[in-house]
Amino acid sequence: KEEGRLLFVRTADIDWVEAYANYVKIHAGTAVHIMRETMASMERMLPHGKFARIHRSTIVNLDRVVEMKPWMSGDYDVLLSTGARLKLSRSYRDRIEDRFIT
């Protein structure tokens, strides 16, 4: 819901999702939508083969990932096609590497 309207966002349009207190921020292009959901429920709602959790506070659309660079302490810097830079924590690294490295 936004300004009294009910908006529909196609999952294909979602770039990434971030935790925001008791809400989530859905980043889709230049728009950011706030929704009262938990990260766990968003992770269950989004298609598993297309989205992955890369941090306790971040879910990413795997089609938007263009580069991953090693960062400190086993973390990675993830660059999306939109220009967004996100952190991949080492505790989620195996999930992502399994998807991109065969």
User: How does pLDDT run across 11-30, given as a tens digit for each residue?
Assistant: 999 999 999 999 999 999 99
pLDDT of residue 55: 95
pLDDT of 19 reads 97
Label residue 61 exposed, middle or buried (CB < 10 Å: 0-12, 13-18, 19+). buried
d(CA 80, CA 28): 12
pLDDT at 102 over 60: no
42-90 pLDDT, tens digit each: 999 999 889 999 999 999 999 999 998 888 877 889 999 999 999 999 8
Using a cut of 0.75, tell me whether the model's pTM lies above it: yes
**Helix ranges, the chain (H):** 39-45, 93-100
Q: Which of 97, 92, 85 is nearest to 16 (CA)?
A: 85
Nearest to 95, CA basis, from 71, 62, 67, 46? 62
pLDDT score for 100? 67
